[in-house]
Structures are given as structure tokens and as C-alpha cells.
Amino acid sequence: MGDLLGVAVLGAGHMGADHIRRLDRVVSGARVAAVADPDAVRAEEAVAGIEGVSVHTETEAALDAPGVEAVLIASPGPAHEEALRAALARGLPVLCEKPMVPDAAGALRVVEAEARLGRRLTQVGFMRRHDPEYRRLKALLDGGRLGRPLMLHCVHRNVSSPPDFTSAMLIDSSVSHEIDAARWLLGQELTAVTVLRPGPSPGAPQGLLDPQFVLFETDGGALVDVEVFVNCGFGYQVRCEAVCEAGSARVGDDDGILVTARGGAAVEVPQDYLVRFEAAYDREVQTWVDDARRGRVTGPTAWDGYVAAVVAEAGVRALESGERVGITLAPRPDLYGGNGG
């Protein structure tokens, strides 16, 4: 196994367990060398049948385990900053699930720590950049055939939200993907945000402001709107339509199996993000492994993670105040030159 990249996976919950499976069965050039989770039983279950894996309850023990050469962080967001800074201190390449760090101040500390190292080690898990449909849309917009993008219309729906989901999390957890996708697709920065709140759906837990309508302005004159509805009840749907000067293009239409039976026909709607974006996750992790073995980062950077945190915080303020909120970024370190989006 010496020619395989040894990866420590931090977190063995829903996302972490899926990444453990992916590294073991799907991705080439890597192996799971260590796993850390506060729940040792859950960690043991996630690596059942995988040889040569050490299991830990502490992050640093996993990072220092024999054979660890890279880190995949899939633990809850509040634990990310400590794990990232520990990995950076050891010079380990990292793939960190979003949010990189939930708060902008913590995200900036990670950016500054990496900038002091003088090299990029962190990639953030905005997997839509690896989704085949989103990549085709990006190529179409960059090619210029449709002219200048004027608007992005986005939809982000979940079957139901976890028990501890808050109104703010509709923005800083769910819409964070649209924040990064919009910057990447348009090559523009988001400059202001307004959040409108229709009457809550009867399917939303008591006190949860769901759905929400989020409107972003950009420094290139485009508008980005996001319908986020995390208790729609019928399926997981993510769509994005770019409206340009000379045409429009949309991705995310349901393209599952069409079942025709007595009385009608129906298209299968995914019930989970791991199903809808399976190909994107596979490609994201494979690209990260290949890059880590070459000593480079080509995916979303720590700067992109920081920007997402800043924009999300502004969105939460807009939600709470009912007002339009401007977005201000810290100076970009030279390490992240150019438009990170």
C-alpha cells in the first residue's frame, strides 16, 4: 500500500462514512489510513472490512497515525477550524467539507495560517464545481455564445431538515453551495444580499422560517436568486438557470428513470444529496487525491471557503433584519491571486 495516498478521515457520520466508502471502493490512488470520530463505535462500523485502518476518538491522534499523508474533514462545521489548523501545522493536504469554517472570523484565521505557509494545502468541498451538468453550464457561459449573464435562478430543495436545523442554517448551510456556484459560474463577487420570507410551509418544524427567497447582487451587474426550501417533502432538487443577453441555459432538471404504469407516468426524484451528486463527489475526491499526490490544489481554495462564510453571515443578518446587507471582504492574500470564484 506504499504507493497509495494514506488519508485520515475526520468524522464518520453520514458524509464521512460515504467518503470512507468512496476512498476504499471508488477512488484510485488512495486508501483510508485512519479515521477519527468521538463515537468510536460509529467509526468502527464505518471502516468494517477495510484493512490497515486505525480508529481514533481524537483528531490529532488520527493526523499523527502511521501512513497518514492527507486529510479529509467531514466532521461537523464547528470542529473544522481546529482540524484545519492542525493539518496545516503538519503540512498535510486537506479536503474539507463545507462550511470550511462556519464563522467568517475563523475562516479568515485559516486563510491567514495557510498564507503564512506560503502554499495552498486546503481544498473546500463545493462539489458542484465537479458536477457534469454544472461544468457544462460553466463552459457555456465562459464560451460567450449566450452573451453576458444577467441573472441566475436557483432552486435548492430538501425532503426534510434535521431536528436541529435553524432558520439561519438555510443560508449558511444550504445556500452556501449556491454562494460558491454563483461566484464560480459568473466569475464575479457577490456584493449585497436581501432575504425575503414567505409564510412558513406547514411541513416546516415550529419556528423554522422555511422556505426563504435569497437575492444576491454581484460586482458584474448580475442578479442571483435562490429559492431554498428544506422541508418540501417530495424530494431533493437542485436547479440553476442562467439567463443571458442572447439565451438561457438550465441544469438540474429531473432526469431519473421514467416509470410508466396504469394510470400515468412518473419520474423518480432523488431523496438525498448523496444520490443527486454522487458523480460530483466521486470526481471531486478523485481530483483531490490526484492533486495531493502531485503537491497542488486545483479546486475551491481556503479563500473561497472564507468568502462563502462572509456572504453567509451577511445573508443571516439580512434574514434577521429584513434589510439589504452589503458584503465586505478582507484583502485577498497574494497566495490566492485572481478571482477565487
Domain of 229: which CATH number? 3.30.360.10
Whether residues 232 and 265 fall in one domain: yes
Please report whether residue 222 resides in a domain.
yes
**Are 73 and 11 in contact, with CB atoms under 8 Å apart?**
yes
- Domain shared by 221 and 138, yes or no: yes
Find where cell 483510508 sits. Answer: 32
- pLDDT tens digit sequence for 123-175: 999 999 999 999 999 999 999 999 999 999 999 999 999 999 999 999 999 99
pLDDT of residue 338: 58
**Residue 326 covered by a domain:** no
Angstrom distance (rounded) from CA 287 to CA 283: 6
Q: Please name which of 213, 239, 35 lies closest in space to residue 152, comparing C-alpha atoms.
A: 239
Residue 230 placed within a domain: yes
CB atoms within 10 A of CB 280: 20
Q: pLDDT value at position 253? A: 84
Residue range(s) defining the domain that contains residue 90: 5-128+279-303
Domain-embedded: residue 247: yes
Measuring CA to CA, how many Å separate 146 from each of 34, 96, 188, 217? Answer: 47, 34, 17, 20
Phi, psi (degrees; rounded to nearest 5) at 261: -145, 180
What pLDDT is recorded for position 339? 47
Q: Which grid cell sits at 297? A: 490544489
Domain for residue 136, yes or no?
yes
Residue 256: per-residue pLDDT? 58
Alpha carbons within 13 angstroms on the beta-carbon side of residue 113 total: 21
Domain assignment present for 240: yes
Pair 139, 221 in one domain? yes
- Tally the domains of the chain: 2
- Alpha helix (H) ranges present in 118-195? 132-143, 169, 176-186
Q: Output the domain CATH number for residue 288.
A: 3.40.50.720
Q: Name the one residue in this structure whose C-alpha cell is 497566495.
A: 335
State which residues of the chain have pLDDT below 70. Answer: 1-2, 254-261, 265-274, 338-341
pLDDT of residue 254: 65
Query: HSE on the CB side for 270, CA within 13 Å?
Result: 19
Same domain, 67 and 81: yes
In a domain, 246, yes or no: yes
Judge if 290 and 260 occupy the same domain.
no
Statement to judge: residues 117 and 136 lie in one domain:
no
Are residues 220 and 150 part of one domain? Answer: yes
In this structure, the answer to whether residues 183 and 100 fall within a common structural domain is no
The reported pLDDT for the residue numbered 236 is 85
Please indicate, yes or no, whether residues 193 and 146 belong to a single structural domain of this protein: yes
Domain co-membership, 229 together with 291: no
How confident is the model at residue 340, as a pLDDT? 45
Considering the domain architecture, whether residues 285 and 266 belong to the same structural domain is answered as no
pTM of the model: 0.93
Which pLDDT value is given to residue 235? 84
